[in-house]
Amino acid sequence: MIPRYLTDVSWQDLPRYEFETIIIGSGVAGLYTAIKAAKTGKVLMITKKALDESNTRYAQGGIAAVIADEDSPDFHLQDTLMAGAGLCDEDAVDVLVHEGPARVNELIRLGTEFDLEDGVLALTREGAHSQRRILHAHGDSTGAEIVRALAQQALEQPNLEIWNNHFAIDLLTSNGECLGALVQRPDGSRVAVFGKATILCSGGAGQLYRYTTNPEIATADGIAIAYRAGAEVRDMEFVQFHPTSLCYPGAPRFLISEAVRGEGAVLRNSTGERFMENYHPLLELAPRDVVARAIVSEMERTKSTFVYLDITHEPREKVLHRFPMIYETCLHYGLDLTADWIPVAPAAHYMMGGVKTGLDGETSLKRLFACGEVSSTGVHGANRLASNSLSEALVFGRRIIKKLAELPELDLDSLQVGSSDQVALALRKDIPMTPVVEKRLKLQKVMLRHVGLVRSDEGLERGIDELRRLMSLFESRLTKREEYEFANMLTVSLLVAVAARMRQESRGGHFRSDYPASNEEWRRHIVFHRESGTVTETVRRMPVEHGQEEAAASKG
């Protein structure tokens, strides 16, 4: 069993810091919620690296919202539901598509400079969208622009304290209530931080896989610490593999945005044949899981390690204007996007599952909220629609902030801390370990080989066995950030693999070669809880009322 805490320390003996709100993570979810929360109380933001280092920073394509007159929330809702393959929470999607435009307008007010055409917001289309509703910035640097604007705002908030290069090891709890977090400082010392509310905004889990578009920091920390603390975790089998990451000797698995296909790029196999017409009527703009599996199929058929992305037929000026960062990156490795076919292959990109939340970002653990990729709001279902992730973080971040006002104050002096809530003492030993870098690579290879884009019962069983052999780590005394990260990666890898073996069908980002069809009986969520085990639940659908406040905000 995964242990409750990763360390042996009595948090009652540690230096104590108290805040109104604690935010773990500094992507768009963390920055936005920190800015809003700091308007009414003292806020701490904990980020394990620099303020601007997150998955958001690397988001190229853009942010999806209903802006154009010919578009509508109903169109956006239907596109999202279709991509989600029957597992979206329609209430959550309804919230996203109706409240998204107001949040985009707020981003603009906060200083984000989206691209314009003839004085109006420039909109593009991406895979599985029926309309042009993707806003972008500096061509293909949308995430970096949003982070720039929000980070600048965050640094100007007098009530916001930012701890860079700090690591949240675990959440502190008492009687089913989150009190805050156990945090390790850059010098290795530890402190206990307490708050009326704790918001997980720690991002995704791409580093579970050998090949990923995610930065080094995407090690599934938030999902793991929430699971250990007793929060419910849902839909872990649904991992999205982006179809087109750069696949070239000496180059990282750099993301080639879906927007490139949205602007006319086509896919060709290693023999030069365009192949998507053999797989889906939407061709290159089919849902990501379809395109990714089609690419793998062609790679296997032609005995190649990549396919080509070809946009050479589009005007050079258009490509340079729309994709300057992608162009420069490819050029650095000797590839000219305007003249060369670019070798690409799928890579782990986004975790649809995460910490289960309600429509206000609340988790099953009192005072704990989750926002952004770490969460499972129900918006994405079995397969995220392109560019919905940034919108989701803003929409549900705003809802969390409104919910915080309803929380009672936290009275630390009156807490009765039970033995199950306190960190255990003197249980672990200094056991010599294989270097973490080796363990991490082994885990990534196991996940790639057995829990990747195409899965089977035999492979999943083998993968689970190999992952469980690594669990001796939890018997050792952990002291370094990379050790905590590996423990988190192992925790979440096991959740992904076990859920993937349980789901005996194919749906969205989860494909089983031994169960290649979807099964209506599996139109359910798989939910994990550390102590009570695993359950399945039906897809939720209830009417949602939209308040006058949001309607007014959408006009401003």
Contact 463, 449 (CB under 8 A): yes
Q: Tell me the catalytic residues.
A: 288
Indicate whether 227 belongs to any domain. Answer: no
Q: CB-based contacts of 322: which residues, under 8 Å, 6+ apart?
A: 124, 139, 140, 259, 263
pLDDT per residue, tens digit, the chain (556 aa), is 788 999 887 777 899 999 999 999 998 999 999 999 999 999 999 999 877 666 566 556 689 999 999 999 999 999 999 999 999 999 999 999 999 999 999 999 999 999 999 899 999 888 788 999 999 998 778 888 999 999 999 999 999 999 999 999 999 998 889 999 999 999 999 999 999 999 999 999 999 999 999 989 999 999 999 999 999 999 999 999 999 999 999 898 888 988 899 889 999 999 999 999 999 999 998 888 889 999 999 999 999 999 999 999 999 999 999 899 899 999 999 999 999 999 999 999 999 999 999 999 999 999 999 999 999 999 999 999 989 999 999 999 999 999 999 999 988 777 655 444 555 444 566 666 778 899 999 999 999 999 999 999 999 999 999 999 999 888 888 999 999 999 999 999 999 999 999 999 999 999 999 999 999 999 999 999 999 999 999 887 644 444 333 333 333 3
Contact 55, 204 (CB under 8 A): yes
3-state secondary structure of 275: coil
Q: For the chain, what is the domain count?
A: 2
Q: CB-based contacts of 211: which residues, under 8 Å, 6+ apart?
A: 245, 253, 345, 346, 347, 348, 448
Identify whether residues 343 and 247 lie together within a single domain. yes
CATH no. for residue 482? 1.20.58.100
> Of 519, 534, 550, at which residue does a domain stop?
519
Indicate whether 47 belongs to any domain. Answer: no
Indicate whether 494 belongs to any domain. Answer: yes
> Of 348, 368, 399, at which residue does a domain stop?
348
Indicate whether 531 belongs to any domain. Answer: no
Indicate whether 315 belongs to any domain. Answer: yes
User: Which pLDDT score is estimated for 434?
Assistant: 76
3-state secondary structure of 501: helix
- Between CA 488 and CA 2 the distance in angstroms is 10
- Between CA 538 and CA 528 the distance in angstroms is 14
- DSSP H helices in 166-257: 221-229
Structure tokens belonging to residue 464? 């689970």
Structure tokens belonging to residue 477? 């005394």
User: Which range of residues forms the domain containing residue 280?
Assistant: 241-348
Indicate whether 530 belongs to any domain. Answer: no
> Of 348, 364, 384, at which residue does a domain stop?
348
CATH no. for residue 265? 3.90.700.10
- Between CA 229 and CA 224 the distance in angstroms is 9
Indicate whether 304 belongs to any domain. Answer: yes
* Residues 301-353: tens digit of each pLDDT: 999 999 999 999 999 999 999 899 899 999 999 999 999 999 999 999 999 99
Indicate whether 327 belongs to any domain. Answer: yes
* Residues 232-267: tens digit of each pLDDT: 999 999 999 999 999 999 898 888 988 899 889 999
Residue 548 CB neighbour total at 10 angstroms? 7
Structure tokens belonging to residue 325? 């960062």
- Between CA 227 and CA 528 the distance in angstroms is 8
